[in-house]
Amino acid sequence: MTLRFTKEHEWIRVEGDVGVVGITDYAQRQLGDIVFVELPALGTTVIKGGQAAVVESVKAASEVYAPAAGEVVEANAALADAPATVNGDAEGAGWLYKIKLANPADLNEAMDRAAYDAYLGTLH
Reported as a single tens digit per residue, the pLDDT across 58-96 is: 999 999 999 999 999 999 999 999 999 999 999 999 999
Please tell me the distance from the alpha carbon of residue 45 to that of residue 41, in angstroms, as a whole number: 9
If you average pLDDT over residues 17-36, what whole number do you get?
A: 97
User: How much is the pTM?
Assistant: 0.95
Residue 41's alpha-carbon distances to 3, 59, 107, in angstroms, are 23, 25, 22
Domains and CATH numbers, the chain: 3-102+111-119 (2.40.50.100)
* pLDDT tens figures, 95-120: 999 999 999 999 999 999 999 999 99
Question: Does residue 46 have a pLDDT over 90?
Answer: yes
Q: Is the pLDDT of residue 1 over 70?
A: no
pLDDT of 113 reads 96
Q: For residues 41 and 60, what is the distance between their CA atoms, to the nearest angstrom?
A: 22
User: 3-state DSSP call for residue 59?
Assistant: coil
Confidence of residue 27 (pLDDT cuts 50, 70, 90): very high
Residue 55 has pLDDT above 80, yes or no: yes
